A = this chain, B = another copy of it.
Amino acid sequence: MSEQVEWGLHCCLTLAWIGDEHPMPAARLADWFELPPAYLTKCLQALTRAGILQSVPGARGGFRLARRPADVTVMDVLVAVDGPDNPFRCTEIRQRGAGVDPSAPEFRTPCAISTVMHRADLAWRRELASHTLADLLESAPAGAAERTRRRYAQLRG
């Protein structure tokens, strides 16, 4: 899994704490977490394409949340950054090899291995989809929002 998943989630949370008043430039977010600025942009762009963030061009531009935190699940962020592909991909190797008829009736039902992997993937996705950004904000220690806003104000000078 790409490291950008972690970046994306933390950036979304920070943007939620800061609020929608001023958008936050990618360079400032990179400074915030000590990440490579030019590369973090790519992650934020992916989130924008997915409709999770909203990019504001021009001077005083930047990024802000495009939806309410309660309407963005962890799964949404992960799909936006890492792509929608299932980590396991069944290539149907059971049908390959000499002496195998691909049109045999046993191949009408999906391969048992694929089924198990798919169920596990589903459990994983269900867990990630059951938590929203709002949940993460609530589970933060008391005063975190205040500290974040204060630190941001100090950063802007």
Contacts and interface: CB of A to CB of B under 8 A. Distances in A.
Contacts of A93: 6-7, 10, 33-35
Interface of A: 1, 3, 5-7, 9-10, 13, 31-35, 74, 87-91, 93-94, 96-100, 105-106, 109, 112-113, 115-117, 119-121, 123-128, 131, 136, 139-141, 144, 147, 151, 154-155
18 contacts: A3-B89, A6-B93, A31-B97, A33-B93, A33-B97, A34-B93, A34-B96, A35-B93, A74-B113, A74-B117, A100-B151, A106-B144, A115-B139, A116-B128, A120-B124, A120-B125, A120-B127, A123-B123
Question: Do most interface residues of chain A lie in helix, strand or loop, or is the interface mixed?
Answer: helix
